[in-house]
Amino acid sequence: MIVTLTANPSIDRTVVLDSELICGGVNRARASVSDPGGKGVNVARVLTEAGVQAMAVLPVSDGDPLLKALTARGVRHCAVPTDGLARTNITISEPGGTTTKINEPGATLTEATKTALFDTIVDLGRDATWVALSGSLPPGVPSHWYADLVRALRSTACKVAVDTSDAPLLALAASFPESAPDLIKPNSEELAQLTGADAGELERAARAGDPTAAVEASRILLARGVGAVLATLGSAGAVLVTDEGAWFASPPSIDAISTVGAGDSSLAGYILADIERCAPGDRIRRAVAYGTAATALPGTTLPTPDQTHPDAVTVRALDLPGPTSLPAQLSSLPSSTPFDTQTLS
């Protein structure tokens, strides 16, 4: 079983426009759709569509429309009681794949809800193959909460993946190696947050066929105790860096419609390949195939296995200098990186 945590779930409403968004003007929608959302919910939806047993854990009150939406899509879920309704996030989708997101903060979690949610994840983790901790944290939850969960899950046999950003990501990294997960899935901006790299340059270099900078940044995280880094680099593809080596995967050329859920689909694809005991090159191949498929679908639609095309993904094993070069890189990082815990005080 794969367990996903969505501490800040949502109803994701996507509005599709026929033309570019006019800020301050009247925009007419061609279509709109609402789906159960939140990054962990998205991962569980993709896994469920692939026929894998997944359990989405989330705080939600009785009668919340989110519960009905999850049931309608056949997603198994464990609802931890809380006050208030799930937030509504709005995505505005323009022709050409440009998306604008407006995310509500979410309902504040009480101490009782936080404790119950934490304990539920640890209990389920004892029988899980993977636990994926995904997305933002709602009001009332401290930024170090994911770090605390990773440490608690180390007493179980499951693997732990983390996909988050901003304060929760920085707090997680500040307590490496104690809170280092088996897998972390940053995008280029999040990898830059963690290592002091330039996000734009990471993607530009990868699009030019040279992912060296992304690999070197990822190896900084490995040196801090992370088991593997799956860094997604937008249309350039992704790199996977482990103690075994590094791989770069380039997606096929497609017409992007919406980037919503692409990172979550990539994480689900990676987990699917891992539970099938695939080699690292095939794990990143599946991850990029799923992420690419998601961008070719409208709104919050997530890919099914028959919509992915792993054979169209080009994977290259990278022969780059090994971890022995990392100490100098670490010592040259700017003091504002999260490894200087003073920045988080």
Tell me the catalytic residues. 264
Per-residue DSSP letter, 322: -
Angstrom distance (rounded) from CA 134 to CA 41: 9
Q: Are strands 183-184 and 159-163 parallel, antiparallel or unpaired?
A: parallel
The candidate with the shortest Cα–Cα distance to 14, out of 104, 116, 102, 82, is 102
Q: Are strands 228-232 and 183-184 parallel, antiparallel or unpaired?
A: parallel
The candidate with the shortest Cα–Cα distance to 37, out of 108, 134, 118, is 134
Token code pair at residue 214: 């992304």
SS3 189: helix
User: Roughly how many angstroms between the first and final C-alpha of the chain, as a whole number?
Assistant: 37
Phi-psi region of 57 (alpha: psi -120 to 50; beta: other; left: phi over 0): beta
Token code pair at residue 244: 């075994």
37 contacts 290 by C-beta, under 8 angstroms: no
28 contacts 62 by C-beta, under 8 angstroms: no
Token code pair at residue 337: 């990186």
Angstrom distance (rounded) from CA 305 to CA 271: 13
Angstrom distance (rounded) from CA 86 to CA 93: 22
Angstrom distance (rounded) from CA 132 to CA 272: 12
